[in-house]
């Protein structure tokens, strides 16, 4: 007697998942914006400032995961701050309560709340809320990308030497040194390079036509799950090394026509290793 394969769980309606992600991101964004001490990055000592940011990270993740669990208790969860549980519904929420914590610490506006819903391993809903920008980006798989409810589209492809590209750097000194060398070799080949500090916002900026491309090594699933879907639904292409999907080795997002040459160049420059 052989075991028959188990059927996949019935998919949750995407509009339900989107509504929950939008509300959870809104609540967490308001908490982070309204409860952040005004002088956090100036008057606080280094240790106390970091403690406050850590407390806010945990508080926001607890708010998000509690809200999602209340409404969908059978779903799995993966959160940056340690929230992790398997689920039985086929849906897993991937949560980054503060993407861009250093920006948040210093009172800079480019930090975000990132929430993605995956179904059987594929992202189907992505929401990125950037409260200090006054913007919320979202996408449903196959339904396009939106910013504050209006359709978002990436830019037409420029020549490589006219491309505005963003990146990010690791916190480990040796890794940062190699990443700086990659950027040094890349910058003469493009219009300019930006370093925003929030991977989720950078991916959304590609979707909205504010960047032509973005790349970064060392991202975690919660850094890119929502933003990657939004970028793709905005018309961008995403990947890792040629033939690969975005991952911790390398994430690349760019407008069609720029993506492949940028990806090949980053591969040649060794952007995928330390």
Q: Where is 176: in which H helix or E strand?
A: helix 173-186
Instruction: Check residue 46 and give its pLDDT.
Output: 44
What CATH class has 160-269? alpha beta
Q: How far is residue 17's CA from residue 141's CA, in Å, rounded to a whole number?
A: 12
CB burial of 110-121 (b: ≥16 within 10 Å; e: otherwise) equals: bbbbbbbbbbee
Domain 14-152 homologous superfamily, CATH: Fructose-1,6-Bisphosphatase, subunit A, domain 1 (3.30.540.10)
Between 265 and 174, residue with greater pLDDT: 265
List pLDDT tens digits, range 14-63: 999 999 999 999 999 999 999 998 766 544 444 556 666 888 999 999 99
Residues of the chain with CATH 3.40.190.80: 160-269
Instruction: Check residue 53 and give its pLDDT.
Output: 83
Alpha carbon 9 to its chain centroid, in Å, reads 26
List pLDDT tens digits, range 212-238: 999 999 999 999 999 999 999 999 999
- Percent residues over pLDDT 90 in the chain: 82
With a cut of 90, say whether residue 96 has pLDDT above it.
Answer: yes
Instruction: Check residue 12 and give its pLDDT.
Output: 73
Give the count of alpha carbons within 13 A of 63, CB side only. Answer: 22
β-strands 135-140, 145-147: how paired? antiparallel
Q: Where is 104: in which H helix or E strand?
A: helix 101-106
Q: Token pair 């396009």 is at which residue?
A: 144
With a cut of 60, say whether residue 7 has pLDDT above it.
Answer: no
Residues of the chain with CATH 3.30.540.10: 14-152
């Amino acid at each position: 007697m052989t075991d028959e394969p188990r059927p996949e769980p019935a998919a949750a309606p995407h509009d339900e998942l989107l509504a929950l992600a939008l509300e959870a991101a809104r609540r967490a964004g308001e908490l982070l914006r309204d409860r952040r001490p005004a002088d956090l990055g100036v008057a606080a000592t280094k240790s106390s400032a970091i403690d406050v940011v850590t407390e806010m990270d945990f508080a926001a993740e607890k708010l998000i995961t509690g809200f999602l669990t209340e409404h969908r208790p059978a779903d799995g969860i993966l959160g940056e701050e340690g929230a992790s549980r398997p689920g039985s519904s086929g849906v897993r929420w991937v949560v980054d309560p503060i993407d861009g914590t250093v920006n948040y610490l210093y009172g800079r506006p480019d930090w975000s709340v990132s929430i993605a819903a995956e179904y059987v391993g594929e992202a189907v809903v992505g929401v990125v809320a950037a409260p200090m920008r006054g913007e919320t980006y979202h996408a449903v798989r196959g339904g396009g990308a939106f910013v504050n409810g209006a359709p978002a589209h990436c830019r037409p492809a420029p020549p490589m030497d006219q491309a505005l590209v963003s990146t990010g750097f690791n916190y480990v000194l040796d890794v940062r040194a190699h990443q700086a060398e990659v950027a040094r070799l890349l910058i003469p080949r493009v219009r300019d390079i930006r370093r925003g500090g929030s991977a989720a916002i950078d991916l959304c900026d590609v979707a909205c036509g504010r960047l032509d491309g973005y790349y970064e090594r060392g991202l975690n699933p919660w850094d890119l799950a929502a933003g990657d879907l939004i970028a793709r639904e905005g018309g961008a292409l995403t990947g890792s090394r040629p033939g690969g999907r975005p991952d911790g080795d390398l994430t690349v997002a760019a407008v069609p026509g720029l993506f492949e040459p940028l990806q090949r160049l980053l591969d040649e420059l060794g952007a995928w290793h330390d």
